[in-house]
Amino acid sequence: MRLHPTRCFDNAAHDYATLTVRPLSAAMGAEVIGVNLATLTDAQFAEIRHALFRHRMIYLRNQVGVGHAEHAAFSLRFGPFAEDAYTNGIEGYPAVQPLIREADDTSDMVFGEGWHSDSPFLPQPPAITILRAVQIPPFGGDTTFANTGLAYQTLSEGYRALIHPLRIHFSLRDVLASAQAAVTPSDSPIGKLAATRNAAELPIDLKRKVGGAFHPLVRTHPVTGGKSLYIDPSYGIGIEGFLAEEAAPIMGYLNAHLLQPAFSCRLRWEPDMVTIWDNRLCVHQAYNDYAGHRREMYRTTVAGEIPQ
Ligand code: SIN
């Protein structure tokens, strides 16, 4: 099924008192204009939060003055930091995760390159992710997003009823296998996974992530009450109680349905841009298409609930 989002989702801007919103695509995403995250008032924060839940992903340009401290403080306004599944943060800011790819890095895998929701293999996956750009390539290095609520709404009543009771198995298994097969520097998040390629046994923490977690395939947003598909082709490996060959057509169909271009938007980064997305409302994908150029980003994640 290939659909366009008309009538199923309204990405129009709401009227806000303290900021302006400019929608990105019909399916999702919006630019927030007129605020700086380093000097945010409570009223501005409340409207940013509202805009995030409405548009699924929002971004702010020209966030000059937002460094690691301001980034971390802004993140904490949404709630405590989530467990970070990949890095140990940077000196002085353990919750600020560096995502840096050097110009001479010719790895055949970059962090976040398959469509995914952040760390769904954890029992309580991060709710929200905040990514700040310091240096971006002259072209490439974009991030695309897809609206999981819109994908759910455009399924037939019959298919929705079929998938409602199902629980999906999320695991680091396939991403770990891809990293172990990749050529990549050892100090990158993917490099740390790749370094386990010859280990007789995986470290206990990695075993836990490969074991993964079972979550509802249709999840309900704890604030808006909206329903979304909870699936992605990177970490979703099965359905509870189903044989692999039984789960594959359901997951294949849902991933293809979710990832059709009509449900997506593509973000072109700029230095000093900060982007915020809600992992309960969208999936995203980075691209390995800027070898020869440096990309420097920093990420925080906000703790989420057990998905319901
Ligand atoms: C991520 O998957 O969190 C990173 C996305 C990106 O680097 O564009």
With beta carbons less than 8 A apart as the criterion, state whether 94 and 257 touch. Answer: no
Cα-to-centroid distance, 290 and ligand 1 (Å): 14
d(CA 205, CA 190): 15
Pick the residue whose CA is nearest to atom 6 on ligand 1.
286
Q: Are strands 264-267 and 30-33 parallel, antiparallel or unpaired?
A: unpaired
Which tokens belong to 8? 């199923």
Distances (CA, A) of 138 to 132, 280, 292, 304: 17, 31, 10, 34
Residue-wise pLDDT for 293-308, tens only, equals 999 999 999 999 999 9
Regarding pTM above 0.85, the answer is yes
Question: How far apart are the CA of 120 and the centre of ligand 1, in A?
Answer: 15
- Which atom of ligand 1 lies nearest, measured to the CA of 284? 2
Q: Give the pocket of ligand 1 (CB within 6 Å).
A: 99, 111-112, 118, 129, 143, 284, 286, 297, 299
* Span 236-260, average pLDDT: 98
- State the pLDDT at residue 110: 86
Give backbone dihedrals phi and psi of 54, rounded to 5 degrees, phi first.
Answer: -75, -45
pLDDT digits (tens, 9 = 90+) for 20-31: 999 999 999 999
**Cα dist from 166 to 4, 123, 173, 229, 294, whole Å:** 26, 17, 21, 11, 42
What tokens were used for 107?
A: 């790895």
56 C-alpha vs ligand 1 centroid, how far in Å?
Answer: 15
Q: What is the whole-number distance in angstroms between the Cα of residue 24 and the centre of ligand 1?
A: 18
pLDDT in tens, 53-97: 999 999 999 999 999 999 999 999 999 999 876 777 899 999 999
* CA 69 distance to own-chain centroid: 22
In this structure, the number of other CB atoms found within 10 A of the CB of residue 289 comes to 13
Selection from 58, 38, 27, 289 nearest residue 148 by Cα = 27
* Paired residues of 302 in beta bridges: 81, 128
pLDDT of res. 195: 86
Tokens of residue 138, six digits: 């002259």
Q: How far is the CA of 145 from the centre of ligand 1 (A)?
A: 10
Give the model's pLDDT for residue 271.
98
pLDDT of 117-164, one tens digit each?
Answer: 999 999 999 999 999 999 999 999 999 999 999 999 999 999 999 999
Alpha carbons 305 and 125: distance in angstroms, whole number: 7
Return the pLDDT at 296. Answer: 97
Two tokens at 226?
């909206």
Nearest atom in ligand 1 to 295's CA: 7
| Separation between Cα atoms, residue 224 and residue 245, nearest integer Å | 35
What span, in angstroms and rounded, lies between the C-alpha atoms of 7 and 26?
10
Would you say residue 2 has pLDDT above 70? no
